[in-house]
Structure 1
Amino acid sequence: MTTVTTGRHPNPAYAGTGRLIRLALRRDRVQVPVWLVAFAVVYAVSVWSLKDLYPTSNDLHLIAVSSAVSPVVLATNGLVSGDSLGAVVAAQALLFLALAAGLMNSMMVVRHTRQNEETGRAELVGAAVVGRRAMLTAALLVALATDVVLVVLIAAISAAFGLPVGGSVAIGAATGAAGLAFAGIGAVTAQVTQGSRAANGLAGAALGLSFLLRAVGDSTGSVDESGVRVTSSWPSWLTPIGWAQQVRPFDTDNWWVFAIFAVFLVATVWLAYALTGRRDHGAGLVQPRPGPPRAAPRLPTALGFAWRMQRTTLLWWALGIAVLAATYGSVADEMDNFLDEGGAVADMMTQLGGGAEALTDAYFAVIFLMMSFFTAAYAVQSVLRMHGEEASGRVEPLLSTALSRTRWMLSHIAVVVGGIVVLHVILGVVVAITYGIAIGDLGGPLGSLLPAALAFVPAVLLVAATAILCVGALPHRAGSVAWGLFAVWMLIGQIGPLLNLPQWVMDLSPFVHVPALPAADLRALPLIVLTVVAVLLAAAGVAALRRRDIAVQ
């Protein structure tokens, strides 16, 4: 900061908030637009595809009725409330929008509060005239501004497709309100923990718990006489994700639900401010446990140290993958009945699942594709941990010893590669076991479902290798470029078949080249090519790091 304010601020606790807002906006000048564009594209494609899949009121009524009586759809897609096009859009898209908005907001607040303290930026900023609450206030105001833009985007897209204006504003506001609720949660977790990873982990756990409680509440709800409107049971009312759905856009448009959001946001922000005044700078309320008096034999090694740094992240991702895999596997035996009732949904599932005639196989192919996006997100996050260590200056003392740059980087890469394989094994085994329990054949599905899950490992390795190249060659843009490419590839892999994109566009995504097991036959050549390309990209990233200066921010 080049300018220091010497005048007296009306409230010294908030002094410097404006400059911190500008600083946060500058740091997020790439990430926030990428998030917003991704929201806009995904939502627009969702509305367009649903409008194309269900062109008549009879089609809309049929999908609403079949969804309302299916615990699978209610748990995974969201609350059913009406049979208009807008209501079907809300039932299919609002859950994803709310979850993504919650993730974006919690990470944003943690990045501009706890991460600043962790990297030392907050201490430098605090040397100027900056109040104790200024950094948290700036982070929350930036989150609020981002959510306002998001609300406008979603409402405008809905209205552009001819949906009612009231419902369009309601679905946008529900998404933004869910995001703000998790901004408040992120503000609290940033005060409780001492590291940004732990803060993001707690906020992510809250997001996952919110999803699970809502899933239980919706799937155990009751259907009214019309057959197209579900009344959720009480667990749905315990979470911000559930509140967003209870707005019921394009149906009853329950604006009073936003009062619950307001109370929750005020409570979490008040708690965050209270905790800010009760802890030391750079410390959390929960202090880390002291380590053992003697280090483990493997800790002084490059690989052991990398494992120590990455193991908590892998544990949280493994837990989340296991929960989702168990959910999807346990309901797979019901998919044939549900898909048979909705011809358009069956066609879409078949198209995404490699053209298989067996709907259950197509369902598994789609599930493994979707879950590979999660493991790829883990890979990008874990690879970028190297960038974080470099930017914070913590890697320089390590490299001043006998540890070479190559060994340091390869040790982290080895842990990430091992984590990718472990997550896909967990995915395949848990899906197979839960599905086997549901059909009364515990070990039978394992032989086909585990290879289907492992088939996506080469594609995820290529995503990780791209992030490695970004860390090595683009140290100042590693995060934005790596996450941006991941978002593009994910969108192509998920919605490309539905939009009938040109083949050369489809080929840009590594996920498209993976055979859709168990719906399709195994083809080894694409997997070999993906693996070779991943190795070459990773080698280029390591070579690039060896040839440049260490970039400390």
Structure 2
Amino acid sequence: MSGLLHLVRFQAHRDKLVLPLWVGGIAVLGFATATAVATQFGDTPSRTAIITVATSSPAFLFVRGVPDGTSTGAVVFFQGYAFTAVLAALMSTFLAVRHTRTDEELGRAELLGSTPRRRSAPLIATLVLAAAANLVLAGTVGAGFIAAGLPVIGSLMAGAAVGFVGLFFGAVGAVVAQAMPSGRSANGAAAALVGVSYLMRGVGDAVGTPGADLQHVTSSWISLLSPIGWGQRSRPFTAADPLPLLVLLAAAVLLASASVLVRERRDLDAALLSRRYGKERAGLGGGSLFGLTWRLQRSTIVGWCVGAGVLGALAGAFGPIVRDAMSGSSALQDLISRLIPGVHADAVNLFITALLGIVGVLAAASGIQAVLRMRAEETEGRAEFLLSTPQSVERWLGANVLVAAGSAVLVTIAGGTAAAVGLGLSGTAPQRAGYLLPAALAHAPAAFVFLAVTALAFSIAPRLSVPLGWGILAVSLVLDQFGDFFGVPGWLVSLSPFRHSSAMPVEDFNVAGAIALTAVATALALSSVARIRRRDLTA
């Protein structure tokens, strides 16, 4: 037992900066949501109005979740639970993969394996650390809600809903780490499972059954396929029910036990899915830096495009459902007028705009991941071999930035095309579907900014490039989605590149904004290429 505790302490020491940032950031987001709801919707009529509109709108249900009453706590949980649960899930999967498959890939697990410990000891220590981190997260989120003035029991239950989702996905990350042959593929697969969970919850909520009082929605059975949907069913501020959380706990224990069982029976660095090796000779274009970069990135880019395509198809397919549900809703038009003054848009356009905005986030994430592939090449020693050939470090960075930009464009094209096809097949007028591809492409300039910032961080502070790249994306997303709701100053909200994307088809295409974003991205990319020649390769 003492050896296991030493391993837990060692892993916790390695994460002494990362985990507090995750836990603190999620807790602060929950506290800010509670404070904003109490400030902006302090009276019952205001909360009733927004819940009535949300209950009638599949778009709100898909993005936020299901309403469950008009108390302050219920509105807080409706506004913030789904987003914080996704963050907890990502925190846990990344933690599990980082200390298991990635350690095996980099050789650190081999050193631990040379000591007199059972081969699954590092994995068990990781599961213990993930459980402890999520318990702390649950308590911290609950404490933030209590500090914001929400009921104690409901606050603790809401914190537990977020923490237990994280606990479940920590076990999922451990299982995926046994199956995938590399840390990169394991992180990608685990993140994809988190995205699928969010989508299944969204679909199940969007086709749920509204109550007669228009203050509650009962999710369909589809949401039961999502761990996030199970956590939502705990209903912390209305009729607190711990049973769904116990289901998550039981599932987490089963998955964790399965991962330990597999680890005890497989060799170090082996995987349930075998590693694919390339051909003996490079094909057409494989002899160039750009061709090599594309070959290394293409499978990941395809994965991002598939995710964007699924999201776009849902946007198109649900268009008529949204139209029928919201026809004649004066409350929705009043809310639109409050949120987007001067804009007159129907519910279908609003729903599609919201989902294409998520496609834009996926495009930015795909570009960031493509740029950060260079950091993995550098730390694992492959960049050193590559740059020992007559290739300059500037050309290496430039090729990766170009592929990252292409990745962002392809993701937006996949999302927009799938949305157009889905809308056309759903029986909506074909001419309406024609604007969806340009609407999706309108988010590409903002994605360029994120990948260029990441490239600049890689060229100046490579050891910080990973947290900076993903951290800037997360902060910008929070500012864009919650900035106005939290009462953040306008100048600070405007720092988010997402704020300068054209929200087509609700808004007209902002030519000046697209040019400005592209110019900023180009300047940052050129600065990174000029700056990288001034530093050496780092481990």
Q: TM-score, normalised by structure 2?
A: 0.90
Letter in 1 for 2:429: D
Greater Cα shift, 27-36 or 314-323: 27-36
Greater Cα shift, 85-94 or 189-198: 85-94
Partner secondary structure for residue 262 of structure 2: helix
Deviation at residue 111 of structure 1 after TM alignment: 1.2
Deviation at residue 497 of structure 1 after TM alignment: 3.2
Greater Cα shift, 110-119 or 152-161: 152-161
- 1:145–1:425: structure 2 CA closer, same or farther, 3 Å change rule? same
Deviation at residue 468 of structure 1 after TM alignment: 0.5
Q: Deviations over 1:499-550 (max 9, x none)?
A: 4543432342222233443334444333223222222222222233222221
Deviation at residue 302 of structure 1 after TM alignment: 1.6
Indicate whether 1:471 and 2:461 are aligned. Answer: no
Deviation at residue 377 of structure 1 after TM alignment: 1.8
Partners of 2:270 and 2:88 in 1: how far apart?
28
- 1:344–1:267: structure 2 CA closer, same or farther, 3 Å change rule? farther
Partners of 1:108 and 1:281 in 2: how far apart?
19
Deviation at residue 313 of structure 1 after TM alignment: 1.4
Aligned to 1:195: 182
Aligned to 1:263: 250
Aligned to 1:228: 215
Indicate whether 1:394 and 2:394 are aligned. Answer: no
Partners of 1:537 and 1:260 in 2: how far apart?
48
Partners of 1:403 and 1:440 in 2: how far apart?
52
Indicate whether 1:350 and 2:340 are aligned. Answer: yes
1:268-347 alignment runs, 5 A limit = 268-292=255-279, 294-332=281-319, 334=322, 337=327, 340-342=330-332, 345-347=335-337
Letter in 2 for 1:388: A
- Partner residue of 1:377 out of 352, 359, 365: 365
Does the 8 Å contact 1:318/1:423 carry over to 2? yes
Aligned to 2:410: 422
Partners of 1:458 and 1:474 in 2: how far apart?
24
Aligned to 1:119: 106
1:45-64 alignment runs, 5 A limit = 45-64=32-51
Partners of 2:344 and 2:331 in 1: how far apart?
15
Letter in 2 for 1:346: I
- 1:526–1:75: structure 2 CA closer, same or farther, 3 Å change rule? closer
- 1:430–1:42: structure 2 CA closer, same or farther, 3 Å change rule? farther
Letter in 1 for 2:415: L
Deviation at residue 240 of structure 1 after TM alignment: 1.5
- 1:99–1:491: structure 2 CA closer, same or farther, 3 Å change rule? closer
- Partner residue of 1:146 out of 123, 133, 146: 133
- 1:98–1:225: structure 2 CA closer, same or farther, 3 Å change rule? same
Does the 8 Å contact 1:38/1:487 carry over to 2? no
Aligned to 2:419: 431
Deviation at residue 292 of structure 1 after TM alignment: 4.3
Query: Identity, % of aligned pairs?
Result: 35
The alignment's C-alpha RMSD in Å is: 2.7
Aligned to 1:403: 391
- 1:444–1:82: structure 2 CA closer, same or farther, 3 Å change rule? closer
- 1:502–1:272: structure 2 CA closer, same or farther, 3 Å change rule? same
Does the 8 Å contact 2:99/2:126 carry over to 1? yes
Letter in 2 for 1:440: T
Deviation at residue 305 of structure 1 after TM alignment: 1.7
Indicate whether 1:29 and 2:16 are aligned. Answer: yes
- 1:339–1:327: structure 2 CA closer, same or farther, 3 Å change rule? farther
Greater Cα shift, 494-503 or 279-288: 494-503
Partners of 1:252 and 1:470 in 2: how far apart?
47
Greater Cα shift, 272-281 or 511-520: 511-520
Indicate whether 1:155 and 2:123 are aligned. Answer: no
Partners of 1:148 and 1:348 in 2: how far apart?
39
Greater Cα shift, 221-230 or 72-81: 221-230
Deviation at residue 457 of structure 1 after TM alignment: 1.7
Q: TM-score, normalised by structure 1?
A: 0.88
Does the 8 Å contact 1:106/1:185 carry over to 2? yes
Letter in 2 for 1:330: A
Does the 8 Å contact 2:362/2:411 carry over to 1? no
Aligned to 1:524: 511
Greater Cα shift, 487-496 or 229-238: 229-238
Partners of 2:329 and 2:27 in 1: how far apart?
28
- How many residue pairs are counted as aligned between the two chains? 535
- 1:396–1:324: structure 2 CA closer, same or farther, 3 Å change rule? same
Letter in 2 for 1:158: F
Does the 8 Å contact 1:81/1:229 carry over to 2? yes
- 1:489–1:244: structure 2 CA closer, same or farther, 3 Å change rule? same
Partners of 2:433 and 2:3 in 1: how far apart?
60
- 1:515–1:237: structure 2 CA closer, same or farther, 3 Å change rule? closer
Does the 8 Å contact 2:146/2:152 carry over to 1? yes
- 1:349–1:315: structure 2 CA closer, same or farther, 3 Å change rule? farther
Letter in 1 for 2:32: V
Aligned to 2:123: 136
Partner secondary structure for residue 444 of structure 1: helix
Letter in 2 for 1:123: E
Deviation at residue 82 of structure 1 after TM alignment: 2.6
Deviation at residue 145 of structure 1 after TM alignment: 2.4
- 1:549–1:20: structure 2 CA closer, same or farther, 3 Å change rule? farther
Does the 8 Å contact 1:350/1:362 carry over to 2? no
Partner secondary structure for residue 463 of structure 2: coil
- Partner residue of 2:497 out of 505, 510, 515: 510
Letter in 2 for 1:456: H
Greater Cα shift, 119-128 or 131-140: 119-128
Letter in 2 for 1:407: R
Q: Deviations over 1:163-211 (max 9, x none)?
A: 2111111111011001110110110010111111221233233323333
Does the 8 Å contact 1:66/1:338 carry over to 2? no
Greater Cα shift, 384-393 or 82-91: 82-91
Partners of 2:24 and 2:329 in 1: how far apart?
31
Aligned to 1:83: 70
Partners of 1:461 and 1:295 in 2: how far apart?
30
Structure 2: tracts of 5 or more residues without a match: none
- 1:479–1:358: structure 2 CA closer, same or farther, 3 Å change rule? same
- 1:193–1:91: structure 2 CA closer, same or farther, 3 Å change rule? same
- 1:207–1:253: structure 2 CA closer, same or farther, 3 Å change rule? same
Letter in 1 for 2:21: V
- 1:494–1:67: structure 2 CA closer, same or farther, 3 Å change rule? closer
Partner secondary structure for residue 93 of structure 2: helix
Aligned to 1:538: 525
